[in-house]
Amino acid sequence: MSKSKNPNQSLDDKERDKPLTIHEFERIAQTKLTQQVWNYYVSGADEQMAIKRNRDAYDKLVLRPRVFRDVSQIDTTTVLFGKKFDFPVGVSPSAMQKLVGGEGEVDVARAVASRGTFMILSSNSTSPLEDVINAAGPNPDTADFWFQIYVSQDRGKSAKLIKRAEAENSVAQLLTLGPTAAGFKALAVTVDTPVLGNRINERKTQLVLPSNLTLPNLDDPDPDKANKPSLNRDLLNALNRQEAGRIAEVAKKRGLLNDASLTWHETLPWIRQQTSKMKIVVKGVMTAEDALLAIQNGADAIVVSNHGGRQLDSVASTIEALPEIVDVVKGRVPVLIDGGITRGSDVFKALALGADFCLIGRPALWGLAYDGVEGVKMVLDVLERELSRTMALMGARNVGEIEKSMLGVEKRDGFGIAKL
């Protein structure tokens, strides 16, 4: 007698194959992306020590659980800029997301809106900023959007882009008549990229957009810009000072190179003059000294970030840099962190060291590669469940109960764990 087929066999197999961790999403994404696209997103600067350090530093932190606490109800909500979020994980900016899958940035926007968190849209996105805002759907008050910008040599172009983002903020509020409406609530100014880091992989195999994709948020008069590397990347490839000078001279006429002359006392006040509605967030701070300067010059928040290890190699990991920044900020502005977060326990550790909110970059891309908007939702769900479970097992009933004393590190001399 032949054995009858189980009608649910294919469904069962599909359920078993679903990724359950961020690392599983990453492995699947590698099989789905072309080698060139995969290398672009996964690689860092020089020998890629900063990428490794971002990840390894979390593993050096040991959890010290508290027990016999009532953890029957776990509350992962947190408040940032007066708005309550379902859990303290948002999405960092990353460029050209349509290369990864689905509708790119629009899919990420739909995912964060459905999960009660926010995203920072890259100015180098393959979706117009207006489309990303509209992706929030009929309930825009569930979403939040920030816009990332590099200040270019042509301040007029940067000002125009800021005004576009601010206009979306104004239109959204006018249409919905509510202060929590969708619209770009903050401008994330990336400050760690006066020039591109030495990205060896990109120098060997430059990534250019296919002809069907563009960077619609950038104002570039070159009609063939989609079919060749940016001038920032041409400058990265310069082999000597003379060649770099020639490229810089051409770039200056188009005004698209990142401005390497930015300063605290001049640039942040100029940005403040361009927008009256958006918060100004400084992204790329790695020292206490710069955190203080950010506050002194009017920043509304700080993102502790080393650009995912893509700029300066041998730099500290972001979780290592976080404590000194939190210590000097003293709660005056929110402190966010990105880089190396791949587990809910990583989020717990960052919160324990004083971060107000965490951001993920590559994990969101791995979800996008896996299954578009649904894949990004799944990544966010994995991190939310892992954080909630970690909190329960650590005896923290809400985000406010996550404390530095719940962490430890190996003792330098002798056996045991030293409490932080």
Cα separation, 366 vs 353, in Å, equals: 27
- How far from 142 is each of 82, 339, 374, CA to CA, in Å? 14, 25, 17
SS3 45: coil
Report the predicted TM-score, pTM, of the whole model to 2 decimal places.
Answer: 0.91
Could you tell me the CA-to-CA distances from 343 to 29, 173, 350, 359 in Å, in that order? 17, 35, 11, 12
Residues carrying an active site annotation: 307
- CB neighbour burial string for 146-171, b if at least 16 within 10 angstroms, e if fewer: bbbbbbbbbeebbbebbebbbebbee
Cα 139 to chain centroid, rounded: 23
Q: What's the CA gap between 313 and 316, in Å, rounded?
A: 9
Residues of the chain with pLDDT under 70: 1-14, 137-143, 169-182, 220-231, 253, 255-256
Give the sign of the dihedral formed by CA 108, CA 299, CA 384, CA 18: positive
Ordered by where they begin, the domains of the chain are 32-198+261-419 (3.20.20.70)
**Distance (Å, rounded) from C-alpha 400 to C-alpha 188?**
26
**What does the radius of gyration of the chain's CA atoms come to, in whole angstroms?**
22
